[in-house]
């Protein structure tokens, strides 16, 4: 029987690359997103071509009803889940500095980027722990897709930075709590990655990268993140729970 991975935001961008790489490497998939199932049918079909069984678990991770819907769809198709990838996340609709910021945008980002994955993880971790108690050979892990914004300030999207800083603590909390059950938790922390999320600021980042923003002078690709996730999910780092794995082309390497 193949291991099962739930990837939130798995039908686009970084999450899609993760899903495809996991599918190509022997996982069955549960793909979460907010779009209607009819809008992602071709994407899911593409993932099935990897040989994976693929189910769509539609739901907003930022609401309790959404998380219940995700869990129901998941449990209808699979009797266990071995890997949770908390990848879904959003940027502010409008970039505003802290003097202009709105509570509406702050609450939206905290809900989707921090509160949502925390309580989705709670539900999945309870299930993983039950499975582990019933069968000590059961292998499970959790991988969180954070952001360099957890430590790098962007004054025009402070609520995003704060949500990712909180999300970094979420990874550490779960790593500590789940250690006694042998369930490792890691954070993969991307830099600037070419996806729909960054398409609106493409010219800005093209220029910054050319000027030396990153040590490696190119955009990060979703596949760069997917490789890190595959490696972590393959238990290549068995003594590293709670660690942050940077995939940022050296953006956060301090230079003089
Ligand atoms: P995209 O905007 O390309 O894709 C976001 C995905 O998240 C989509 O699949 C979307 O679903 C899903 N999603 C959005 N809101 C919700 C929600 N409320 N509930 C469930 N799913 C939701 O983003 P990226 O691929 O660029 O980013 C993925 C993650 O990586 C995010 O957490 C982001 O913060 C982080 N990141 C990205 C960086 C970058 O440079 N791109 C850099 C650092 C971190 P649907 O497809 O249905 O619309």
Of the pLDDT bands very low, low, confident and very high (cuts 50, 70, 90), residue 13 is very high
Place of tokens 């393959």: 234
Answer whether residue 254 is part of any domain.
no
* The pLDDT of residue 7: 99
Q: What is the pLDDT of residues 157-197, one digit of tens each?
A: 999 999 999 999 999 999 999 999 999 999 999 999 999 99
Measured over the CA atoms of residue 232, residue 185, residue 140 and residue 115, the dihedral's sign is: negative
**Angle separating helix axes 158-178 and 116-134, nearest 10 degrees:** 10
Give, for ligand 1, the residue of 197, 200, 245, 248 to mutate: max count of ligand atoms closer than 8 Å to Cβ: 197
Query: Cα–Cα distance between 62 and 64 in angstroms, integer?
Result: 7
User: Which residue owns the Cα nearest ligand 1 atom 19?
Assistant: 60
Tokens of 61: 């991770």
Average pLDDT for 75-83: 98
Of the pLDDT bands very low, low, confident and very high (cuts 50, 70, 90), residue 33 is very high
* The pLDDT of residue 17: 98
Quick check: CB of 92 below 6 Å from ligand 1?
no
Of the pLDDT bands very low, low, confident and very high (cuts 50, 70, 90), residue 32 is very high
Of the pLDDT bands very low, low, confident and very high (cuts 50, 70, 90), residue 140 is very high
Quick check: CB of 85 below 6 Å from ligand 1?
no
Quick check: CB of 62 below 6 Å from ligand 1?
yes
For 126, other C-beta atoms within 10 Å of its C-beta total: 10
| Domain range for 58 | 4-247
Query: Among residues of the chain, what percentage have pLDDT more than 70?
Result: 100
Answer whether residue 45 is part of any domain.
yes
Query: Cα–Cα distance between 11 and 34 in angstroms, integer?
Result: 9
Q: How far is CA 117 from CA 9, 94, 157, 235, in A?
A: 11, 23, 20, 22
Quick check: CB of 9 below 6 Å from ligand 1?
yes
Quick check: CB of 154 below 6 Å from ligand 1?
no
Average pLDDT for 120-146: 98
Q: How far is the CA of 136 from the centre of ligand 1 (A)?
A: 34
Answer whether residue 192 is part of any domain.
yes
User: What's the pTM value of the predicted model, to 2 decimals?
Assistant: 0.98
Q: Which CATH number goes with the domain that contains 225?
A: 3.40.50.720
Q: How far is the CA of 145 from the centre of ligand 1 (A)?
A: 10
Answer whether residue 253 is part of any domain.
no
Number of domains in the chain: 1
* The pLDDT of residue 133: 96
Q: How far is the CA of 35 from the centre of ligand 1 (A)?
A: 12
């Amino acid at each position: 029987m193949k291991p099962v991975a739930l990837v939130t935001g798995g039908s686009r961008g970084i999450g899609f690359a993760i899903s495809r790489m996991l599918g190509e490497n022997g996982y069955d998939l549960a793909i979460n997103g907010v779009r209607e199932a009819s809008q992602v049918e071709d994407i899911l079909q593409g993932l099935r071509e990897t040989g994976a069984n693929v189910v769509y678990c539609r739901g907003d991770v930022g609401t309790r009803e959404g998380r219940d819907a995700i869990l129901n769809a998941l449990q209808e198709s699979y009797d266990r889940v071995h890997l949770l990838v908390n990848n879904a996340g959003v940027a502010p609709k409008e970039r505003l500095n802290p003097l202009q910021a709105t509570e509406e945008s702050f609450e939206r980002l905290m809900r989707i980027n921090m509160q949502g994955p925390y309580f989705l993880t709670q539900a999945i971790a309870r299930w993983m722990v039950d499975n582990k108690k019933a069968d000590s050979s059961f292998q499970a892990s959790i991988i969180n897709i954070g952001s360099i914004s957890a430590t790098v300030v962007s004054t025009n999207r402070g609520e995003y930075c704060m949500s990712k800083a909180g999300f970094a603590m979420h990874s550490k909390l779960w790593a500590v709590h789940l250690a006694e059950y042998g369930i490792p938790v890691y954070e993969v922390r991307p830099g600037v990655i070419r996806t729909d999320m960054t398409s609106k600021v493409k010219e800005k980042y093209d220029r910054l990268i050319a000027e030396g923003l990153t040590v490696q002078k190119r955009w990060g690709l979703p596949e760069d993140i997917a490789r890190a996730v595959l490696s972590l999910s393959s238990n290549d780092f068995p003594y590293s729970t709670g660690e942050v794995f940077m995939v940022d082309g050296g953006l956060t390497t301090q230079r003089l």
